[in-house]
């Protein structure tokens, strides 16, 4: 357990509405990541952060934005949700001592109707 929580754990929303998912960590990890998981695709990286206010795009960043105003929170925002963004979203961290070990949160299941 790397001290990662995600909220909400489940959400149903309508097409066109904004949605924000939160990842919270309690152990001062520098790197944080947002992935989405879809059947047959494994996990694909959306965005990541390497420090407060430092973020970069991943493989599937279109339609998503992120913010990190403090070390412990990494927010993922869907400005205008679409049905193609129905997915399970996972937050992850890498630990400073062993940056090659990446640990995942419990996930958020998002359904866009």
Give contact residues for another protein (rule: CB under 8 A). 31, 33, 40-45, 48, 50, 56, 58, 90, 94, 99-107
Please check whether residue 75 is in contact with residue 68, taking contact to mean a CB–CB distance below 8 angstroms: yes
DSSP letter for 12, please.
Answer: E
Minimal CA–CA distance to 77: which of 11, 30, 31? 11
Please check whether residue 109 is in contact with residue 49, taking contact to mean a CB–CB distance below 8 angstroms: no
Report the side by side order of strands in the sheet with 64-70: 4-7, 19-25, 73-78, 64-70
| Minimum separation from the CB atom of position 59 to another protein (A) | 8
Q: Which is nearer to another protein, 37 or 77 (CB)?
A: 37
| Minimum separation from the CB atom of position 79 to another protein (A) | 23
Q: Which is nearer to another protein, 17 or 50 (CB)?
A: 50
Q: Which is nearer to another protein, 30 or 77 (CB)?
A: 30
| Minimum separation from the CB atom of position 82 to another protein (A) | 23
């Amino acid at each position: 357990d790397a001290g990662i929580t995600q909220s909400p754990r489940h959400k149903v929303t309508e097409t066109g509405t904004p949605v924000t998912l939160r990842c919270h960590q309690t152990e001062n990890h520098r790197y944080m990541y947002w992935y989405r998981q879809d059947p047959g695709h494994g996990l694909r990286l959306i965005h990541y952060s390497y420090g407060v206010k430092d973020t970069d795009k991943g493989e599937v960043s279109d339609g998503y934005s992120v913010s990190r105003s403090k070390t412990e929170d990494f927010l993922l925002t869907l400005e205008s949700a679409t049905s193609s963004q129905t997915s399970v979203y996972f937050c992850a961290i890498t630990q400073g001592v062993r940056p090659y070990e990446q640990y995942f949160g419990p996930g958020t299941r998002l359904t866009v109707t």
